[in-house]
Amino acid sequence: MKIKLTSVSIDDYDKALKFYTEILGFVKKHDIPLGEGARWITVVSPEEPNGTELLLEPNASYPAMKALKESLIKDGMPFTAFQVNDVQEEYERMKELGVEFTMEPTNMGTTSAAVFNDTCGNLIQIYQINNV
Amino acid sequence: MLHTGDTQVLEYHTDCIEDVMRYIREHIAEPLDRERLADIAGFSVPHFHRIFTAHVGESAISYVRRLRLERAGRKLRMGAVDITEVALAAGYDSHAAFSKAFKQLFGLSPSEFRQLGCWAATELLRKGKQS
């Protein structure tokens, strides 16, 4: 058994794809039309083009998902997390690009982490593993 | 009784204050002063102070302080190890000043708060000061 796909809930394909590629720096892997406007869009890390794919899943308006996302945002809880080599460096790069951070880089002991708004209704954590 | 003109003024004020609140959220990690906030609202400082307090129920200074303490609380909930680092990021120049303000808002010291489980910490952050 392998984990080859995970997903993030979005509301608008193009807006999400723009953010996840142009701001975060992921690369589009698949963009498959599924009919009636639906698309199967995944992105991958340029460092791992054959690694786990992130599906941009347009389920943000599904009532249960909408409620979950609103609660997570309200409570400041990240929807998911991505690993980076240097949180401070990524934070500064993304701030320059206008990304809103709800938590600046913070030392959590074994990790350092920051949290940003992905403009698709999610808070996303970036973290680095600290040398301890 | 509100007249049409009053309603328009009220809506205008609401829009201005919402602009300021958005600016505060986006720049909460930076120094914020009343002059800058009043400028964003397009009001004089005294007028801004009155309008903001009337709309939000607390002064802009109190709102900024609360938001920073809530952010600090989220960091502690997520496992921030260095309370002094959290204090400095929240705009306090010492652990002691931060602890005092934190306890005033949440009813627990940052160290005590950090001992709470995720759910209890989240509930406290939602409710504000512990009843």
Mean pLDDT, range A27-43, rounded to an integer = 95
pLDDT mean over B6-33: 86
CA dihedral A69, A75, A79, A84 (to 10 degrees): 150
Q: Measured between CA atoms, how close is B111 to chain A, in angstroms?
A: 14
Residue B37 has pLDDT above 80, yes or no: yes
CB A79 within 8 A of CB A69: yes
Average pLDDT over residues B79-86: 93
pLDDT at A8 over 90: yes
Closest by alpha carbon to A105, among A94, A93, A113?
A: A113
For residue B131, the model assigns a pLDDT of: 44
Residues on chain B touching A108 (C-beta within 8 angstroms): 78-81
Which amino acid, residue B100? K
Instruction: Point out the least confidently predicted range of A15-29, A115-129, B36-50, B99-113.
Output: B36-50
pTM score, whole prediction: 0.85
Place of tokens 């723009």: A18
First to last CA, chain A: 31
| Mean pLDDT across chain A | 95
What percent of chain B is modeled with pLDDT above 70?
A: 94
Q: What is the pLDDT of residues A87-114, one digit of tens each?
A: 999 999 999 999 999 999 999 999 999 9
Q: Which of residues 8-47 of B touch A (CB under 8 A)?
A: 25-26, 29
Give me the residue from A74, A104, A113 closest to B78, CB to CB. Answer: A113
Chain A contact set for B85 (CB, 8 A): 106-107
H/E stretch holding A103: strand A101-107
* Chain A 23-42, residues with CB within 8 Å of chain B CB atoms: none
- For B104-123, write each residue's pLDDT tens digit: 999 999 999 999 999 999 99
Question: Which of A70, A72, A75 would best serve as a mutation to test chain B binding (most B beta carbons within 10 A)?
Answer: A75
- The per-residue pLDDT of chain B, averaged, comes to 89
Q: Which of A119-128, B39-48, B110-119 is predicted most confidently?
A: A119-128
For residue A81, is pLDDT > 50?
yes
Residue B27 confidence class, pLDDT cut points 50, 70, 90? confident
Domain total in chain A: 1
Confidence category of residue B14, pLDDT binned at 50, 70, 90: confident
User: Which residues from chain A sit within 8 angstroms of residue B125, using beta carbons?
Assistant: 75-76
- Chain A neighbors of B80, CB-CB under 8 A: 106-108
Output the domain CATH number for residue A72: 3.10.180.10
Domain membership of residue A94 as a residue range: 5-129
Are B89 and A101 within 8 A, CB to CB? no
Average pLDDT over every residue of A30-38: 93
Identify the pLDDT of residue A57. Answer: 96
Whether residue A83 lies within 8 A of chain B, CB to CB, comes out as: no
Q: Is the pLDDT of residue B29 over 90?
A: no
- Residue pair A76/A124 in contact by the 8 Å Cβ criterion: no
Q: How would residue A132 be classed by pLDDT, with cut points 50, 70 and 90?
A: low
Report residue B5's pLDDT band, with 50, 70 and 90 as the boundaries.
low
A70 and B CB contact within 8 Å? no
B122 with A75: Cβ contact below 8 A: yes
For chain B, the domains span 4-57, 63-127
Q: Please tell me the predicted confidence (pLDDT) of residue A78.
A: 96
Quick one: fold of B63-127? Answer: Arc Repressor Mutant, subunit A (1.10.10)
Minimal Cα distance from A72: which residue of B? B122
- CA A88 – CA A105 distance, rounded (Å): 6
